[in-house]
């Protein structure tokens, strides 16, 4: 059976996206304040089958923002020191929705141990504090960038929807005098 261009692209990129995601430990979060200003922050995460999970305090501004407005965007970003080109760091960004997970739920009982396995005893301590909330972040649409001219639109399951930049960057044309 012959694969089409889309299938070949997905087969090549999905493992790269998965490996990139696993190398990251934090999400860079962008939430909106009550007065409409964007707020940027970060949170350690674990990814399970149904989304990304973060454990954050109600004292933090990003938690208050998410409790008021569940819409956000987040980014996984290549470290500066590991980047071949600082202007083209690898990144995975998403528009997403957040939902608070009840402490008595099966989801809490799965996500907290997964966070503990990834980050250790700090999760045991923080999850025992009343001001810490567990959120599931469900990615909707996003973009995976591997460098200049290598940007791909992805869905919440990291499936490649289509090649975003086929044309690439264009030089400025000098105007004739």
CATH code, domain with 141: 2.30.110.10
Q: Is residue 165 part of a domain?
A: no
161 part of a folded domain: no
Q: Looking at the domain assignment, is residue 12 inside a domain?
A: yes
Does residue 95 fall inside a structural domain?
yes
Residue 177, domain member (yes or no): no
pLDDT at 126: 97
- pLDDT confidence of residue 2: 61
Whether the Cβ atoms of residue 63 and residue 133 lie closer than 8 Å to each other: yes
Coil, strand or helix: which one is 2?
coil
pLDDT digits (tens, 9 = 90+) for 140-173: 999 999 888 888 888 777 666 655 555 555 666 7
**How confident is the model over 73-128, as pLDDT tens digits?**
999 999 999 888 889 899 999 999 999 999 999 999 999 999 999 999 999 999 99
pLDDT value of residue 103: 97
Check residue 162 and give its pLDDT. 55
- Residue 171 located in a structural domain: no
pLDDT mean over 57-62: 97
pLDDT at 94: 96
Domains identified in the chain, total number = 1
Find the domain containing 114 and state its range.
5-155
Task: Give one DSSP letter per residue of 103-136, joined into a string.
Answer: TTSHHHHHHHHHHHHHHTHHHHHHHTSTTEEEEE
pTM: 0.86
Q: Determine, yes or no, domain membership for 164.
A: no
pLDDT at residue 152, as a whole number: 87
Measured CA to CA, the distance from residue 58 to residue 132 in angstroms comes to 6
Q: Is residue 73 part of a domain?
A: yes
Q: What is the pLDDT of residue 82?
A: 86
Rg (CA), the chain: 19
The pLDDT tens digits for 126-140 are 999 999 999 999 999
């Amino acid at each position: 059976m012959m694969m089409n261009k889309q299938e070949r692209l997905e087969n090549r990129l999905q493992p790269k996206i998965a490996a990139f995601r696993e190398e990251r430990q934090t999400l860079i979060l962008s939430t909106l304040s009550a007065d409409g200003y964007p707020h940027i922050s970060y949170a350690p995460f674990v990814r399970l089958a149904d989304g990304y999970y973060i454990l954050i305090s109600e004292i933090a501004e990003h938690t208050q923002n998410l409790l008021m407005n569940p819409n956000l965007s987040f980014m996984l970003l290549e470290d500066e020191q590991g980047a071949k080109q600082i202007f083209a760091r690898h990144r995975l960004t998403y528009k997403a929705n957040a939902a608070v997970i009840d402490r008595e739920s099966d989801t809490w009982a799965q996500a907290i141990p997964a966070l503990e396995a990834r980050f250790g005893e700090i999760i045991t301590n923080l999850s025992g504090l009343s001001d810490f909330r567990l959120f599931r972040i469900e990615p909707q649409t996003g973009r995976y960038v591997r460098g200049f001219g290598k940007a791909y639109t992805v869905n919440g399951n990291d499936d490649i929807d289509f090649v975003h930049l086929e044309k690439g960057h264009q030089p400025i044309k000098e105007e004739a005098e």
